[in-house]
Amino acid sequence: MMDGAAPDGRSMGLEQIYSAELPYVYSFLYRLGCRNIELEDLAHDVFVTAMRRWNTYDSSRPVRPWLFGIAFRVVVDARRRRTAQREVIQEPPEDIPHEGEGAEERLAQRERRELVEEALESLEPERRAVFVMYELEGIPAAQIAEAMGTPVPTTYSRLRIGREEFTAAVRRIQLRRGEP
């Protein structure tokens, strides 16, 4: 389909989705706790899976929750395959400074990002996925439930517990750092 063969309507749609949503998939994967070194491979796996499951995609629905559901499953599978050895997580890619943004502001932004990432890391994978989709990506709970293949009440339960755990983790981290 994406290899240059004569495109039909569905493969053109998937190619357009790939072009438009690849940066978003990278963001999903990163927020789900993937390391920089594995982002490219896992993003590739997400779109290979999307290509295989393209006939199940309902084009009347938003594509991002569907892709997020696939990305979540790809991450879970990758974690299962990963060795039990704890690896050092690389620093996230530095944001390009915006015009007028000072070093102090960039440092504060980096510290906030690190706090959020560390707090997210403490969440169990299903809760983390729901929390990221709902709180950071703005995806409605019904779409999250569909993407993850769970009932809506389960999604809300995971979100509620995820919020509580995230808030507690932020407080712990701030206390450890000596922040107010």
For residue 179, pLDDT over 90 is answered with no
- Does any domain span residue 176? yes
Residues 81 and 118 in one domain: no
Q: For residue 165, what are its two tokens?
A: 């755990």
Domain match, 39 and 85 both: yes
Question: What is the domain-level CATH number for residue 118?
Answer: 1.10.10.10
- Please identify, among 59, 74, 93, the residue that sits at the C-terminal boundary of a domain: 93
Q: Is the pLDDT of residue 32 over 90?
A: no
Note whether residue 85 is domain-resident. yes
Query: Average pLDDT of the chain?
Result: 82
Which of 70, 93, 116 corresponds to the end of one domain?
93
Under 8 Å between Cβ of 120 and 128: yes
DSSP state of 140: -
Is the Cβ–Cβ distance between 65 and 146 less than 8 Å? Answer: yes
User: Would you state the pLDDT for residue 15?
Assistant: 83
CA separation (Å) from 120 to 49, 146, 151, 160? 25, 22, 23, 14
Please report whether residue 41 resides in a domain.
yes
The mean-pLDDT minimum among 45-59, 98-112, 116-130 falls in: 98-112
Residues 71 and 3 in one domain: yes
Q: Which residue has the higher pLDDT, 94 or 106?
A: 106
Question: How much is the pLDDT for 165?
Answer: 95
Of 150, 133, 153, nearest in space to 62 by CA: 133
Residue with tokens 């809300």: 156
Kindly state whether residue 135 falls inside one of the protein's structural domains. yes
Question: What's the CATH code of the domain at 40?
Answer: 1.10.1740.10
Give yes or no: residues 125 and 169 share one domain.
Answer: yes
**How would residue 43 be classed by pLDDT, with cut points 50, 70 and 90?**
very high
| Structural domain total, the chain | 2
Domain span holding position 39: 1-93
Q: What share of the chain is helix, strand, coil (3-state, %, to 5)?
A: 70, 0, 30
Q: Do 42 and 107 lie in a common domain?
A: no
Please check whether residues 85 and 6 belong to one and the same domain. yes
Domain assignment present for 24: yes
* pLDDT at residue 82 in the model: 66
- The tens digit of pLDDT for each residue in 116-145 reads 889 998 998 899 999 998 998 888 999 999
User: 10: pLDDT confidence band, cut at 50, 70 and 90?
Assistant: very low
Domain membership flag for residue 98 = no
Residue-level pLDDT at 131: 94
The answer on 114 and 44 residing in a single domain is no
